[in-house]
Structure 1
Amino acid sequence: MSLFNNKLSGILICILYLQPAFAGDPDYSVAAIPAALKEKAHAIKRMEELVVNVSSLSEKKIVHRYAITVLDASGDKYAKVIDYYDKLRSIRSISGTLYDAAGKQLKRLKQSDVEDLSGVGSSLMSDDRIKRHSFYYTVYPYTVEYEIEVKENNTFTFPEWIPQEDEPFSVEKSKLVVNVPLDFTLRYQSFHYKGEPVITTDKDTRTYSWEVKDLTVLPDERFVTDWHRRTAAVLLAPADFEIQRYKGSMNTWEEMSRFMYTLNQGRDQLPEAVKQTVHQLTDGLSREEKITKLYHYLQQHTRYVSVQLGIGGWQTFDANYVAANGYGDCKALSNYMCSLLKEAGLPAFCVLVYGGDNEITFEEGFPSNQFNHVIACVPGTKDTTWLECTSTTLPAGYLSSFTANRPVLIASEKGSKLVHTPAYSMEQNLQLRRITANINDNGDMLLNAVTHYTGMQQDDLQGRLHQLSREKQLEILKKDLSLPSYDVNKYECKELAEQLPAIDEQLEISAHNYASISGKRMFIVPNLLNKTTIRPDADVPRLSDILLRSSYRDADTVLITVPEGYMPESVPQSVSLKSTFGNYSCQATVTGNVITYIRNVSIKEGLYPATSFPELASFYGAMYKADRAKLVLVRN
């Protein structure tokens, strides 16, 4: 677990919370499922009711009952229970039953069958634990029914209601019920839900309920927004809340910002020895030099280790703790970095963010706990410097695709509105490649490639260089190369120490039978290493809006020397494509026995309507075809 626990995804969201709901003996016969729900489905949610009972600001109970019919082996993953508990969250009970295809009961869950495991993971210390269960049944189709009751000692987080768990997953019926005291304000935001919730009141309780029926499978689409924007979903949040005696509000982002500041106030005091070190390192330096010097100091003297006990998922360990131990989680390291900067005379703040590669979907109009990570920022007169404090390798001021281009919340005493982290432009995210290659009479090729990666185009490679062995790096490289048979003779990378990180890569490859020989003719695809693999089907109706998560540019220059005596018989026509989503061009020419191939691609990030999908499919389809065009040579 990272920082907060409310944004769980996939299977966990729909497995964690259970309650009895539907009266009478259930009919789980597969024959009773409407045919439309079976079509293209691996699993079907037969029924579900998620009930949230709020008794006070400091306590709520969540009860969830559901049944899922698994149609084939691909649906097995939906039939498991995986739930966590800690000091703020206890699992009161778990029950379950297994049924065969006719709906006949086969087995009941025994408490001894429920695994109770440590949830420590990457944390050095944590009170997280996991309960897990599976019937491990493989005679298809079958049905599992589960019921789980959970108690949570806070109202800071609420479960999401997303009945449909995945594309090949349909829903027969599902219901969300939330019971709150009359003086408790429940806030909600729905997606793909017709109408408003049914709201009723009695003497001291207000009840909200949502219900859906007959949700068929969704197509597996590329370039999509987050799952909750593609299917029926309801997000919940309080107006006022309490967590371990800390009270706050989140009607606005300003209120939430003040709460997070108060929760961590006074935890930025440094030991005297560290204060002296700060001044030794930074006195007399410029703002930028101070930031860089202290960021390097942080990277050299600390490491990321998650430490979460009780309220530790939200409240940081103080600067003294990090200084003494040399480690901390994202909150602690960011708080420590801000403490160093403040000692050097630079105001700095901790910042809440949802971290994840290219994860930028965020509900800005719904103040709530949508965060799982903390970074630091240093405001300036002209610009703000952003710091990823868990990394020991990034340059100061560069965030990478993990936290770039998304809304964030600064924890401030006066409160803060949402601001955005930098979006790296097309000209900052580059892949510039020059290839020289020689092909012999047998069609074998010796290829040398020099590639310059910048910005987010170097992120994955930078991570591999620092986290993986050379053997693993080569394994991943070979999977990425679209060559039929080859050996990697040389592979070297050099990182460039710049504010916008860059990597120069050198690659030598011996490719066997790359060129096809047929009689007097030689067939060559001049695009050697950078073929697009995406070819959407324009005839399939598009449901989701189109999300291109980042802008980038690729430029390839390829020089291929072929044996003497070959003349061009057929050269691919030049291609130039202009679209809403970007541009593409390629051109091949032959001079003597040298083929020159030049290719340029630029992609524009953005959210585009589903109605523009035919244009996107046409654009990528044309690129796919052009990238594989063959040049034909004939020997005199």
Structure 2
Amino acid sequence: MRKLLSLAAGLLLTIAQPALAGDPTYPVSTIPAALKENAHLVKRMAETILTVNDLRDVRLTQHYVITVLDETGAKDVSLIEYYDKLQDVRSISGALFDAEGKLIKRLKQSDIKDISAVDDGSLMTDARVKAHKFYYNVYPYTIEYEVELRFNGTSRFPLWQPQEDIYCTVEQSRLVVNVPGDYALRYRSYLYKGDPVVTTDRNIKTYTWEVKQLAALKSEINPDEFYRRTPSVFLGPGNFEVDHYKGSMSTWKDFGDFIYRLNEGRDVLPDNVKQKVHELTDGLATRTDKINVLYKFVQQNCRYIGIQLGIGGWQTFDATAVATKGYGDCKALTNYMMALLKEAGIKSNWALVKAGSDAHTIREDFSSPQFNHVILCIPNVKDTTWLECTSNTLPAGYLSAFTDDRPVLLVDAQESKLLRTPHYNMNSNEQLRKMDAVVDEAGNIKITCLTTYTGLQQDNLHERLHQLSPEKQLEILRKGLDISSYDITGYGCKELGTPIPAIEERIQISGHNYATVTGKRMFLLPDILNRSGTKLDAEEARKSEIKFDYAFRDVDTVCITLPVGYKAEALPAPVMLTTKFGNYSVAIVIKDNTATYIRKMERKAGTFPATDFGELVKFYNTIYKEDRSRMVLVKE
């Protein structure tokens, strides 16, 4: 559970008669049994009050009481509140209670840590953190916090998600939003029954949402986004203001127009860099060649460093600053690359994206600041090129799993709109392995393996090659193979320089007692390095849709030289599965003293209804079983 008690993770707050003010307590004995089942935390009550006074003044009060049932739950309860030029933490109070609801300790202001929020990738930021944790290990116990925040603008409203993790249950939670009578509050709810209660008093309009008795959710493989599994309410402004800049988020075009105006005119290059652009590109014949050479120029001369001061989270440093200093954040590097292309006569656009390997969707029907990253889009009549300007190693045009196949907001002077980044299909995401293995009479095995990884299947290896030392790479490899005892006797990788990146990996392995020898028989697994580890249980009904974000193909061809004096007594039967989720086949043949085993696994991308889960269980469990089918050899 991500920062359970932080604003970024969700909101929780005030009750009519808080325990901090008097004697009401929350004994664990009063928690309904259904809310303790499969739970680590129980949210006893939570109330969030958001008050919009005007476009520059928003107040947020959070009051919540949470019972920690065990050690696992305790890992997720820390108060973490960020603040910077655009938001203040005005007050924090708290208390700790034992299982009977008796007060153990009240929070002292001296207990609150106030630390910088600078991370390893940031050079400068004005963000700081107020943090607190009750260190207590007599379970169960209850904590209570009340926090008041002030936002200097209306650019970003909080998410209300009472149940912030599958193991957090909820007795009662409420969201109250107060806005001026003429203010257009925008909201979008998921799995919330009915509409908010809306009242008006003295030109103040109040919206109230409330939920009660939310039980724990089941852990499910490849689930839908969490906000589609539990009641959630997203809030958004129409007109807004941030650091004296005004805009609108009523539509995606409005939002894109605001970002464009905020950063307009910051793409001016110094004269020496303009001259360099022409030196690099004037002799090149194609648009693609110009893009590639300028992208390589940025990769070789600039590096990513986060710099976010005040409006800096929204507005870029200008291109001259990046050219002079040689670094910038995602906005600054993207803006710099855009300026270089402009000088070369090529139009390009910012694209705001929600980055992350598990972040392939946004709420497309609800325009709001759902993004955390900026990439570059270079449109063309026949094709579009996308650039990840914070990477010093990716080839031009390849985005990786960090930003592939998702909606982005194209920022343009006239036509800001949602587009979609490239989807890498099954043919792009392959793992093709050719393996030669020799087994001796004692069951030891020597393996020479050549594997080519492409597209999204090479992303992790690409990262290791460029970020870790050879020693650290080997350390990971020595722990990662599904062989009980082995030594790595040779290892090397080569990037192939293709548009869809590919890495060729060569590895030599010496495995000890790989095959089991019993009397005159030897039992041998022909699937040496690619056995599936997914085995599913279909006892309980599936609730969430099934999501596979990307497709891939694995093909293993394993040639095994059998020990002298042995012949095959029994072989795994050939298998061929064809399903809506993908395909799987295995076959093995013996010729002379060599067994050739071919395994092919294809998984499709897509979203499938929960009712298909039984078929998915059969698909995965069959693969799990067949990957462990053994050859039986007998000594002649």
Q: Structure 1 length normalisation: TM-score?
A: 0.97
Q: CA deviation at 1:23?
A: 1.8
- Post-superposition CA distance 1:35-68 (Å, at most 9, x none): 0000111111111001111001122011100011
Q: CA deviation at 1:226?
A: 2.0
| Superposition RMSD in Å | 1.2
Taking the aligned partners of 1:396 and 1:79, their CA distance within structure 2 comes to: 43
Match of 2:76, SS state, is: helix
- Paired residue for 1:12? 6
* Contact residue 19 and residue 62 of structure 1 kept, 8 A: no
* Aligned mate of 1:34, from 26, 32, 35: 32
Q: CA deviation at 1:479?
A: 3.2
- Paired residue for 2:199? 200
Q: CA deviation at 1:17?
A: 5.1
Q: How does 1:346-361 map to 2 (within 5 A)?
A: 346-361=346-361
- Post-superposition CA distance 1:61-93 (Å, at most 9, x none): 111000110111000123210111000010001
Match of 2:186, SS state, is: strand
Taking the aligned partners of 1:511 and 1:270, their CA distance within structure 2 comes to: 58
- Paired residue for 1:126? 125
* Aligned mate of 1:55, from 53, 60, 74: 53
- Post-superposition CA distance 1:515-554 (Å, at most 9, x none): 0000000001100000111111122211111110101100
Match of 2:159, SS state, is: coil
Taking the aligned partners of 2:192 and 2:473, their CA distance within structure 1 comes to: 46
Matched residue type, 2:432: L
Taking the aligned partners of 1:46 and 1:178, their CA distance within structure 2 comes to: 21
Q: How does 1:506-525 map to 2 (within 5 A)?
A: 506-525=506-525
Matched residue type, 1:340: L
Taking the aligned partners of 2:469 and 2:174, their CA distance within structure 1 comes to: 49
Q: CA deviation at 1:108?
A: 0.2
* Contact residue 439 and residue 445 of structure 1 kept, 8 A: yes
CA gap of 1:19–1:622, structure 2 versus 1, over 3 A, is closer
Match of 1:50, SS state, is: strand
Taking the aligned partners of 1:9 and 1:346, their CA distance within structure 2 comes to: 43
Match of 1:321, SS state, is: helix
* Identity value in percent: 53
Q: How does 1:184-263 map to 2 (within 5 A)?
A: 184-263=183-262
* Contact residue 47 and residue 176 of structure 2 kept, 8 A: yes
Matched residue type, 1:187: R
Matched residue type, 1:97: A
* Contact residue 12 and residue 173 of structure 2 kept, 8 A: no
Q: CA deviation at 1:592?
A: 2.5
Match of 1:148, SS state, is: strand
- Paired residue for 2:423? 423
Taking the aligned partners of 1:42 and 1:141, their CA distance within structure 2 comes to: 10
Taking the aligned partners of 1:57 and 1:358, their CA distance within structure 2 comes to: 33
CA gap of 1:10–1:618, structure 2 versus 1, over 3 A, is farther
Q: Which runs of 5+ in 1 are unaligned?
A: 1-7
Pick which of 356-365 and 12-21 moved more: 12-21
- Paired residue for 2:161? 162
- Paired residue for 1:75? 73
Q: CA deviation at 1:9?
A: 6.9
Q: How does 1:102-501 map to 2 (within 5 A)?
A: 102-121=100-119, 122-285=121-284, 286-501=286-501
Matched residue type, 2:80: I
Taking the aligned partners of 1:361 and 1:225, their CA distance within structure 2 comes to: 10
Matched residue type, 2:557: T
Matched residue type, 1:504: E
Match of 1:491, SS state, is: strand
CA gap of 1:611–1:10, structure 2 versus 1, over 3 A, is farther
Query: When the two structures are aligned, how many residues end up with a matched partner?
Result: 629
- Post-superposition CA distance 1:390-432 (Å, at most 9, x none): 0000000100010010000111111322110000010000100
Q: CA deviation at 1:608?
A: 1.0
Taking the aligned partners of 1:231 and 1:569, their CA distance within structure 2 comes to: 54
Q: CA deviation at 1:477?
A: 1.9
Matched residue type, 1:79: V
Matched, 1:590 2:581: no
* Contact residue 11 and residue 165 of structure 1 kept, 8 A: no
Q: Which runs of 5+ in 2 are unaligned?
A: none
* Contact residue 17 and residue 63 of structure 1 kept, 8 A: no
Q: Structure 2 length normalisation: TM-score?
A: 0.97
Match of 1:79, SS state, is: coil
* Contact residue 255 and residue 415 of structure 1 kept, 8 A: no
Taking the aligned partners of 1:612 and 1:22, their CA distance within structure 2 comes to: 46
Q: CA deviation at 1:371?
A: 0.3
Taking the aligned partners of 1:565 and 1:49, their CA distance within structure 2 comes to: 76
* Contact residue 16 and residue 83 of structure 1 kept, 8 A: no
CA gap of 1:72–1:453, structure 2 versus 1, over 3 A, is same
Match of 1:345, SS state, is: coil
* Contact residue 40 and residue 168 of structure 2 kept, 8 A: yes
Match of 2:323, SS state, is: helix
CA gap of 1:559–1:10, structure 2 versus 1, over 3 A, is farther
Q: CA deviation at 1:570?
A: 1.3
Q: CA deviation at 1:565?
A: 1.6
Matched residue type, 1:186: L
* Contact residue 82 and residue 132 of structure 1 kept, 8 A: yes
